[in-house]
Amino acid sequence: MKRMGDLIVLELEATLMGGPMVIHPVAIVMPDGTLTLVDTGIPGMTDAIDAELKAAGHSLADVKQVIVTHHDLDHIGSLEAVVAATGAEVLALEAEVPYIDGRERSQKMPSEEQVQAMLVDPNLNPAMRAMITRPPVKVPVTRVLHDGDELPGGIRVVATPGHTVGHLSVYLTGSKTLITGDAMTSEGGTLNGPNERATPDMAGALQSVKKLSGLDVQTVLTYHGGLVTENADAQLKALANI
């Protein structure tokens, strides 16, 4: 966990497809002392989230709303459990809602026919088997967001489609912090573009990077890669010009 002003940046070790990785949900301390959580990690992470929040002097019980950047399983895996534990509101962009509440299959999941074909393959890896057979996450979205919405605490919603159809990023106007979700990645403080392999609409995603580069940014937080604090604004603008 890293505490930066009103931000609690979580550092959670997760093993999903592609092996172990550290992912970064973040909690924003609201003016009334409650927490707004941005993304929830893979399934089974509520205890780890609670432990990280406790290390920062808060707890999972303080979470009153969850902003979902997008519906990939490494972002909504523990959403249902977090909502069950806290009764928190769930906020997402309109285009992402049917993928979160379970009306639509995940944009990146194989089709039903492909799943059936994969399941009869004796060489199918167990992690992949578990992934494609687990029931979809179904969590009602209680507040539909739109591009440019401003929430209390200086939270601005920025629509950044590409990685998924209704992907959003969060800009904190007070600290000039940009929380990118998967609209961008980073490594060791160096900002990178979106992960091409996991981004079905790369052209749209690059447009979204351009859009984000119009913001006045001091700090960038990517879900995969963590904090970018050195020359974040210059790095963002350079990335948008590629």
Site residues (vs Zn ion, CB under 5 A): 72, 74, 182
Name 191's bridge partners: 186
Nearer to Zn ion, 72 or 96 (CB): 72
Measured N-to-C along each axis, helices 126-133 and 112-119 cross at an angle, to the nearest 10 degrees, of 140
Integer CA distances (angstroms), 234 to 113, 175, 219, in order: 46, 17, 11
At position 199, the amino acid (one-letter code) is T
Nearer to Zn ion, 29 or 139 (CB): 139
Nearer to Zn ion, 34 or 181 (CB): 181
The CA distance from 23 to 1, in Å, is: 11
Name 144's bridge partners: 92
Maximum pairwise Cα distance, the chain: 54
Answer whether 158's CB lies under 8 Å from 169's CB: yes
To the nearest whole angstrom, how small is the minimum distance from the Cβ of residue 183 to Zn ion?
10
Residue 6: φ, ψ to 5°: -85, 5
To the nearest whole angstrom, how small is the minimum distance from the Cβ of residue 42 to Zn ion?
10
Nearer to Zn ion, 21 or 51 (CB): 21
To the nearest whole angstrom, how small is the minimum distance from the Cβ of residue 38 to Zn ion?
12
Nearer to Zn ion, 34 or 222 (CB): 222
To the nearest whole angstrom, how small is the minimum distance from the Cβ of residue 78 to Zn ion?
13
